[in-house]
Amino acid sequence: MTKKFKLSDYTLYLMLLPGLALIIIFSYIPMAGLAIGFQQFNPTKGLFGSDYVGLENFKYVYSLDDTMTVLRNTVSIAVMKMAAGLVVPIVVALLLNEVGKVFFRKGVQTLIYLPHFLSWVILSGILMDVLSPSDGIVNQFISFLGFKPIFFLGTPSWFQPMLVISDVWKEFGFNTIVYLAALTGINPNLYEAAQMDGAGRWKQTWHITMPGILPIIILLSTLSLGNVLNAGFDQVFNLYSPVVYSTGDIIDTYVYRLGMINFQFGVATAVGFFKSVVSFILISTSYFLAYRFANYRIF
C-alpha cells in the first residue's frame, strides 16, 4: 500500500533528530577519533593539531611483550566463559524443567537470577570478602578440611578459573530463562507419544527436549562468537591486582592503563582500534551466520 507523503509524517523525522544527534556526537565522532591511533597525540594540540606518525603506535605495541600476553589472556578467558556460560544454563534449565512443584521452581529461579542485577563493584566486594585468604569463609572451610588456604584472587594460576566461576555465578540464572522459555514451547503431545512408544525420561530428554531447544542453543552459541575479544572489563577491573596481570590482564584493562593512567593516548587508541576492528568482523560474522542458519534478525 503506497500512501502519499503527508506533512504530518515529517514529525517522524523530527522525532529521530535528538537520538541521531546524540549518537553522531557520542558514537560517530569518537569513531573519527580513532585517528588518534595514528598520531603522536598531544592533548593540548588536540585531534587536528597532533602530528601523524603512521603505523608507529601499532609497531610499538607489537614490540611489547605484554601485548601477546594480554591478547592470549583475553581470548582464553572469553572462550572459557563462553563454554561454561553455554553449558551451565542448559543443564540447570533441564533440571528445573523436571521439577513438579511450582513454588520450588519459582523460588530457585528467583534466587539464581539475583546476582545478575548487582554490579561487579558490589559482587567484587562480596567475592573479595568471601575468598579472602585470612578470614574468608571459603578458606576457613579449606583450612577446616586440613588444607592450606588459597589466595584465589592473588595467585596467577587461580585467577582465570575464578573469573570464569564468578562470571557463571553471576549470569547463569539469567541465561537459564531463555532456555526455560524455549522448553515451554515444546509441544506436550510429543512427550505423550514418546511415552506410548515406551520411552523413559532419559530418552524423552534426549530425543524430544534436546532437539526442541537445539535451535536456541545454536543461535546463542553463534551470537556469542562475536565476543571473543570481550572478556569482561567490569569484572576483571574490579577483581585484579598487579600480582595477577600475567594471567588476568585483558585488552580493555590494558587500554585503560595505557591511556588513562600512563597518558599514552596514541598507543592506547591503537590497541583499542585493533580490538574494535577485530570485534566488528567477529560480531558481523556471527550475526550473518545466525541469520543464515537460524533466521535471526536483530530488528
Partner 1 sequence: MVQHNSLGRKAFVYGNYVLLALIALICIFPLVQVLAISFSSSSAAASGVVKFFPVDFTLDAYKYVAKKPEFIRSFLITLERVALGVSINMLITILIAYPLSKDSSQLRFRTGFVWVFVFTMLFSGGLIPTYVVVKNLHMLNSIWALVIPGAVPIFNVILLLNFFRNIPKELIEASFIDGSSQWNTLWKIVVPVSLPALATITLFATVGHWNSWFDGIIYMNQTDKYPLQSYMQTIIVARDMSNLSADDIMRLKNISDRNIKAAQIFLGALPILLIYPLLQRFFMTGIVLGSVKE
Please identify, among the stretches 66-74, 90-98, 206-214, 242-250, the one whose residues bind partner 1 according to the rule CB under 8 A: 90-98
DSSP run (H or E) holding 196:
helix 188-196
* The three grid cell numbers given for residue 89, joined into one nine-digit string: 544454563
Among 53, 177, 190, 289, binds partner 1 (CB under 8 A): 177
Among 85, 89, 173, 232, binds partner 1 (CB under 8 A): 173
DSSP state letter for 186: S
Please identify, among the stretches 57-65, 67-75, 76-84, 114-122, the one whose residues bind partner 1 according to the rule CB under 8 A: 114-122
Site for partner 1 in 133-162 (CB under 8 A): 134-137, 140
160-196 residues labelled b (16+ CB within 10 A) or e (exposed): bebbbbbbbebbbbebbebbbebbeeeeeeebeebee
Site for partner 1 in 21-60 (CB under 8 A): 22-23, 25-34, 36, 43, 46-47
State yes or no: residue 260 binds partner 1 (CB under 8 A). Answer: yes
Site for partner 1 in 220-239 (CB under 8 A): 233-234, 237-238
Cβ neighbours of 133 (radius 10 Å): 17
* The three grid cell numbers given for residue 216, joined into one nine-digit string: 536456541
DSSP run (H or E) holding 40:
strand 39-40
Minimum CB–partner distance for residue 136 and partner 1 (Å):
8
State yes or no: residue 210 binds partner 1 (CB under 8 A). Answer: no
Which residue, 1 or 102, is less far from partner 1 as judged by CB?
Answer: 1
Among 72, 200, 211, 288, binds partner 1 (CB under 8 A): 200
State yes or no: residue 206 binds partner 1 (CB under 8 A). Answer: no
State yes or no: residue 122 binds partner 1 (CB under 8 A). Answer: yes
Number of H helices, E strands in the chain: 16, 2
Among 49, 107, 156, 211, binds partner 1 (CB under 8 A): 107
From the number of C-beta atoms within 10 Å of its C-beta (0-12, 13-18, 19+), residue 127 rates as buried
